Structure 1
Amino acid sequence: MNNFEIIIGIENHVELKTKSKMFGLGPVSYGETPNTMISEVDLGYPGTLPSVNKKGIELAILAVNALNMKIETLLTFDRKNYFYPDLVKGFQITQQFNPIGSEGNLEITLPNGEKKNILIERLHIEEDTAKQTHKNNLTYIDYNRSGVGLIEIVTKPVMRSADEACAYVEKLREVLLFLGVSDVKMNEGSLRTDLNISIRPIGSKEFSNKVEVKNMNSISNMRKAIEFEVKRQTEIIMSNSIVEQETRRFDDTTGQTISMRSKADALDYKYFREPNIMPIQLDDNWVKKVIAESPELADQKRVKYVEEFGLSISDANIILTNLEITKFFEETINLIPSYSKVANYLITDIQSELNKNNKELKDIKLTPFNFAQMIELIEKSIISSKHAKTILPIIIESNHETPLEIVERMNLKLISDEKTITNLLEPILEANKELLPQYHERPERVTKTIMGQLMKVTGGNVNPDVSMSIIIKLVEQKV
């Protein structure tokens, strides 16, 4: 590969997070019984007319703005004509000639810390096709997905490695997730990635034939597909053959790409204006309002988490990998501003419980309110961090008791009464009277030894701050 340069461009199809479809009234919901989330428009019934989903346009504008693109306020749609079983109308409504977004960029960070701007050529709105399932030489078609709103985001061929391609899709996913544009779940198909891969001799200005690898469903498979395709194309060129322009798919069981069909030219689609949707001039003030109300992006939150909340960059990144965890964190710190403690429990103890039971936050009983109550009990030294680990699994499984009620039921309150602690310390000090004279020379050793024995006597059920204060006072009196 030392003599060749890798050229990668990416097309992402992103399902918009709307309640109904892009041009019809069919509801949008993943995982429902096949062919139950449909309308007459989705099935291409004669006489049905499309109408544009306003929310879909809003989401597209948010994406265009976040990707630093020029916004086209004259909204027009076109027909992409082809016959395929998953396209019941025989055409797809899209934006071939006048995309809503053009000429943008997205900054990525590579594993070595280097930053790179990925140039984006266009973003356009279109509708999804039906889902096909092949089984026992039969093809089953589910039209639930037919007509779901999509944005297609097309980069320029500027990526030069699998690292860059993977970092770009990961960053794009983060941006769209925090904007609320899509849930971007690659495993469910709401974020689909097509790779356009070619190689050329270093120094050459001409592009070679590109190979499109369709519908990648994970970042790891993207990397494997790129690595395999680069190796395959290199071997073809080194054998003095020509790489055919074609469409391939990735087989994750073999780790190889497999030919599907020769690549169709765009002219085959016979694009023309969609006659049933008149041009729509978007109001400039409305567009500005949509942008002004744009949700805070992960990059903005990351800066705040580190600079204002004092979190480490690694802890901030862990929280920001999951929108549900991010919202939970922010709802909790609005109740109790113990940023580091909340973050630590959330990404260690709570995440461990979730992983152990293969659950997500939405599947458990823990709420920001009772989580904040637990943190408050720790802050006020009513319980120790050890006790928090004991009650946390109970809070996660049940919301019938408050954290304080659980603590009282299990008798986990730390002993904070000075008289009680003093009475507990007296026999300990008597048993260690030979150690006490060392206090002036080695005060920390003496006080820690006494504290350790107090913790042992009480089973760790004593307020450490109050206890240490009393230990120092009593030792100084005795020496």
Structure 2
Amino acid sequence: MINNFEVIIGIENHVELKTKTKMFSSAEVGFGAIPNTMTNEVDLGYPGAMPTVNKRGIELAILAVHALKMKLNPLLKFDRKNYFYPDLVKGFQITQQYDPIGTEGSLEIEVDGVKKNIEIERLHIEEDTAKQIHKDDLTFIDYNRSGIGLVEVVTKPVLRSADEAIAYVNNLREILLFLGVSDVKMNEGSLRCDVNISLRPYGAYAFSNKVEIKNLNSLANIKKAIEFEIERQQAILLKSETVVQETRRFDEASQQTVAMRSKVGAIDYKYFTEPNIAPIQLDQNWIDQIIANSPELPNVKRQRMVEQLGLDLHDVNIILSSLELTNFFEATLALTSDANKVIKFLIGDVFSELNKDNLTIDQIKLTPQNLADLVNHLNNGIISSKHVKTILPIIMNDDTKTVDQIIEENNLKLISDSVEIERLLKPLLESNQELLKQFDERPERVIKTIMGLLMKETQGNVNPDIANEILLKHLGN
């Protein structure tokens, strides 16, 4: 519990760009490939190998800059960040230290009903390093990741709690996902988070020494790491000792932050202009076209679904938690007008089936057309909600049959013909004369009993609305 100090948090997010090839080479990008099979001479720093700039990577960076309300720098420049480390085979990283493509932006968050704008200092383009795999006392290097395009998004030190940090990272992740900038899978490393934390006495203006926690790979770990580090630093300060400025990591086994190395400053990297990439003036018409074709932002989508479609915000947030689920939902809505039934099916019956085998919507056979047909047939009285329970598991596992074929093969169609319902009701009414005499005193019991008998007789395959209407006419006479 923090009583004496104000928490100061800044966040740096490294986001892998969703490109087919790397940022400065033609090597392909892919997750999970055999180590060191997706590299070329540029990634491996061969003498004389020259970098080229990935046009698609620049487009994605522009989309992110615009969505985060940043000032776009149309003159593209790159710099070298020099340091020696096993995961950096060239001995330098191409980045944008002096002229980031985006500056001075903001992202709104909401925590406990309170909204707050988080100021973003910069967004710059750079290349990723290789991946280190530690096993026993050995370290293996996979250069497949080396050279993959990144944008690094850096906030100002304006966050004040772990909950604010979580809200910020989650909102940033959602925006970049829906824009197609990145698949932002923290478990695969395409969204990584570094958190800078310091504490200062309330009322103080100057910042204290900060600690950077590197490569946090889940929202849960971000929260745990921040909360542990706050308690650790407070304990040090309350003993009138100095917090060491250093880089730490979060150890999941002990649920604690652990020291890695002392924190270096920009001067240690000896930045200088990248000599092999000349400045590139971005065409304003090209920039405008990219922005004009930008996908709908999640907050705009959220507001539209609630206000125009009349959907519950909680339900919408569940749908928007997955890009695949959102795309499936919207594709289904193009085929049926009942948005409420579609969303209820997806977050209810469909989710229930998915959770049984830990699957996602794109891993099953269900199609938007089949789900739309199911909703439309239910609304048109062709099938009942009971029939849906039978049909849904089938169409989730078999896309070779239409809903109509399944209904026909399994005799699931509701009886809606009034003449046929009259014929079915007649013997039930004749054999329950004593019950019918109680209608004036106990109408609900009589109706419920006769309808129950009718459903039993037809195995639930009668349209309840039409049957109830016909029954009331008989009882009224």
| TM-score band w.r.t. shorter chain | over 0.9
Partner residue, 2:86: 85
Letter in 1 for 2:124: H
**1:9·1:156 contact (CA, 8 Å) conserved in 2?**
yes
In 2, the alpha carbon distance for the partners of 1:406 and 1:43 equals: 56
Q: In structure 2, how many angstroms separate the alpha carbons of the residues matched to 1:464 and 1:402? A: 25
Equivalent position of 1:124 in the other structure = 124
| 1:377-392 matches, cutoff 5 A | 377-392=377-392
Question: The residue matched to 1:335 in structure 2 has which SS?
Answer: coil
Q: Offset at 1:23?
A: 0.5
Q: Which secondary structure does the structure 1 equivalent of 2:50 belong to? A: coil
Separation (CA, whole Å) in 1 of partners of 2:54 and 2:80: 17
Q: Cα offset for 1:238? A: 1.2
Deviates more, 1:401-410 or 1:186-195: 401-410
How far, CA to CA, are the matches of 1:441 and 1:161 in structure 2? 64
Per the alignment, residue 142 of structure 1 pairs with 142
Cα distance in 2, alignment partners of residues 198 and 316 from structure 1? 36
State the one-letter code of the partner of 2:65. Answer: V
In structure 2, the residue matched to 1:15 is 16
Code of the aligned partner of 1:179: L
**1:425-477 CA-partner distances (Å, limit 9, x unpaired):** 12322344344455567655543343233223322111112211211222222
SS in 2 for 1:198: strand
Residue in structure 2 matched with residue 54 of structure 1 by the alignment: 55
* Partner AA of 1:206 in structure 2: A
Instruction: Identify the residue that residue 311 of structure 1 maps to in structure 2.
Output: 311
Residue 320 of structure 1 and its aligned partner are, at CA, apart by: 0.5
Counterpart in 1 of 2:399?
399
Please give the residue correspondences for 1:179-258 in structure 2 after superposition, counting only pairs within 5 Å. 179-258=179-258
Q: Which moved more, 1:244-253 or 1:435-444?
A: 435-444
What is the root-mean-square deviation in Å for CA atoms of aligned residues?
A: 1.3
Q: How does 1:40-119 map to 2 (within 5 A)?
A: 40-110=41-111, 112-119=112-119
Secondary structure, aligned partner of 2:117: strand
Secondary structure class of the residue paired with 1:470: helix
How far apart are the structure 1 equivalents of 2:229 and 2:85? 27
| Equivalent position of 1:362 in the other structure | 362
Aligned partners of 1:311 and 1:339 also within 8 Å: yes
* Shift of residue 424, structure 1, vs aligned partner: 1.8
Unaligned stretches of 5+ residues in structure 2: none
Q: Which AA in structure 1 matches 2:340?
A: S
CA–CA distance in structure 2, aligned partners of residues 304 and 435 of structure 1: 52
Runs (5+) with no aligned partner, structure 1: none
**Where does residue 455 of structure 2 map in the other structure?**
455
Separation in 2, partners of 1:369, 1:195? 45
Greater Cα shift, 299-308 or 152-161: 299-308
Matches within 5 A, 1:169-188: 169-188=169-188
Separation in structure 2 between the aligned mates of residue 420 and residue 219 of structure 1, nearest angstrom:
59
Q: Which amino acid aligns with 1:127?
A: E
Q: Deviations over 1:124-181 (max 9, x none)?
A: 0000000000102111111110000000000000011111000000000001001100
Give distance in 2, aligned partners of 1:363 and 1:312: 26
2:154 equivalent in structure 1:
154
| CA–CA distance in structure 2, aligned partners of residues 182 and 155 of structure 1 | 19
Which residue is 2:33 aligned to?
32
Q: Is the 8 A contact 1:131 1:146 kept in 2?
A: yes
Measure, in 2, the Cα distance between the counterparts of 1:444 and 1:434: 15
Whether contact under 8 Å (1:377, 1:404) holds in the other structure is no
Q: Which amino acid aligns with 1:146?
A: S
Q: Residues 297-326 of structure 1: CA distance to partner in whole angstroms, max 9, x if unpaired?
A: 111111111111111111111101100000
Structure 2 counterpart of 1:324, one-letter code: E
| Alpha-carbon separation, structure 1, partners of 2:67 and 2:448 | 55
Name the counterpart of 2:285. Answer: 285
The percentage of aligned residue pairs carrying the same residue is 64
The one-letter code matched in structure 1 to 2:21 is S
By how many angstroms is 1:345 displaced?
A: 0.6
Distance of 1:354 and 1:320 partners within structure 2: 17
Matched residue type, 1:70: K
CA 1:391 to 1:265, structure 2 compared with 1: closer, same or farther past 3 Å? same
The C-alpha deviation readout for 1:63-82, integer Å capped at 9, x for no partner, is: 00000100000100000000
- The alignment's TM-score, normalised by the length of structure 1, stands at 0.97
Q: In structure 1, what is the Cα distance between the partners aligned to 2:103 and 2:431?
A: 80
Name the CA distance, whole Å, in 2 between partners of 1:310 and 1:433.
47
